[in-house]
Amino acid sequence: MRLGLPIIAIIVFAALIVVMNALFIVRQDQQAIVLRFGEYTRVINSPGRNEPGLYFKLPFVESVIKYDRRNLGTAIEGEAFVASDQERLIVDAIVRWQIMDARLFYQSANSEAVGAARLRTFTEAAMRRALGSATSNDIISGRRAQLMQAVEVDLNASAATELGVRVIDVRIRQADLPNETREGVYARMRSEREQVAGRIRAEGERDAAIIRATANQEAQRLMGEGDAERSRIFATAYNRDPEFAAFYRSMRAYDTSLDAGTPIVVPPDSDFFRYMQRRRG
């Protein structure tokens, strides 16, 4: 009994449907979770394993959900946070994360969109805890790196156990004050910086005065030592040749006291001119 052409076509079409429902491809940048009647059975190509390729599943019995294996990003924009000094800040941040446990992620979020929304909630809570313990100055410019690290550690503690994801990085892209309070806070920040600058200048002037005083004392000590050494050398030279020492001192006295045109009235036999009165003085 021969089958008619329409029946053969139906059989071929049905076989194609079965084959198409039995085969699926997992790319290098994907991971897949296989479900049987909605219950977890296995994960393919999870992070840390290299299993891309063509796979089989039971048609109409098993289903496949694919998640991204790469790093994902969730943006937080325009969220308001209150710092420890009660200043309100508008913060933009981004979270980089990766699905590490596809089974837990499926059970907690089912889809990447829901997972990103839940992670956003966790991130906002972690940021409120971290930023709430810092001043607005620290958040805007001072300790932003340390604060982001604290948010990342806090977020990983909850995201790993609740969603099965690993937070790779948290970055505060922008933290600014609302327009209505910005000028007042900036004026206060300028005043604080001026106070710090004045304190640093005062400390610098104090240190400079101490250095100058120390330098003057050292210079006076060295000068005193030089004068003493000079006197010692003169005394030694005088003791070795008193006649020459007297002659040298007289010549120095003539040089310093007898300027051109200066009249001096002394007796002719004065000891001051004894080296001018006779050859040997």
Tokens of 222: 């060295």
Contact indicator for 124, 132 with CB cutoff of 8 Å: no
Contact indicator for 105, 43 with CB cutoff of 8 Å: no
Q: What is the pLDDT of residues 163-209, one digit of tens each?
A: 999 999 988 888 777 766 666 667 777 888 888 888 898 888 888 88
Is 211 in the same domain as 129?
no
Is 83 in the same domain as 173?
yes
- The four Cα atoms 254, 259, 264, 266 give a dihedral, to 10 degrees, of 0
Is 96 in the same domain as 23?
no
Is 196 in the same domain as 246?
no
Widest distance between CA atoms in the chain: 168
Q: Which residue has the tokens 């991130």?
A: 123
Is 88 in the same domain as 62?
no
Within-domain flag for 231: no
Per-residue model confidence (pLDDT) at position 27: 92
Q: What is the pLDDT of residues 114-171, one digit of tens each?
A: 999 999 999 999 988 888 888 877 777 767 788 888 889 988 988 888 899 999 998 8
Q: Which domain holds residue 194?
A: 183-215
Percentage of residues in the chain with pLDDT exceeding 70? 78
Is 85 in the same domain as 155?
yes
- The four Cα atoms 208, 214, 217, 223 give a dihedral, to 10 degrees, of -90
If one counts every other C-beta atom within 10 angstroms of the C-beta of residue 44, the result is 19
Per-residue model confidence (pLDDT) at position 31: 95
Contact indicator for 169, 96 with CB cutoff of 8 Å: yes
Host H or E run for residue 276: helix 274-277
Within-domain flag for 187: yes
Is 109 in the same domain as 167?
yes
Within-domain flag for 230: no
CATH number at residue 117: 3.30.479.30
Is 198 in the same domain as 247?
no
State yes or no: pLDDT of 1 exceeds 60.
no
As for how many domains the chain has, the answer is: 4
Q: What is the pLDDT of residues 13-63, one digit of tens each?
A: 667 776 677 888 999 999 999 999 888 999 999 888 889 999 988 888 888
Within-domain flag for 220: no
Within-domain flag for 131: yes
Within-domain flag for 232: no
Question: Which of 65, 53, 62 minimizes the C-alpha distance to 18?
Answer: 62
Last residue of a domain, one of 21, 43, 68: 68
Which tops the pLDDT comparison, 2 or 12?
12
Is 109 in the same domain as 152?
yes
Is 116 in the same domain as 29?
no
Is 187 in the same domain as 116?
no
Last residue of a domain, one of 177, 192, 207: 177
Contact indicator for 76, 91 with CB cutoff of 8 Å: yes
Q: Which residue has the tokens 């007297």?
A: 246
**Cα distance between the two ends of the chain:** 162
Is 92 in the same domain as 173?
yes
Within-domain flag for 159: yes
Within-domain flag for 87: yes
pTM: 0.58
Q: What is the pLDDT of residues 54-94, one digit of tens each?
A: 998 888 888 899 999 999 999 988 888 888 877 788 888 89
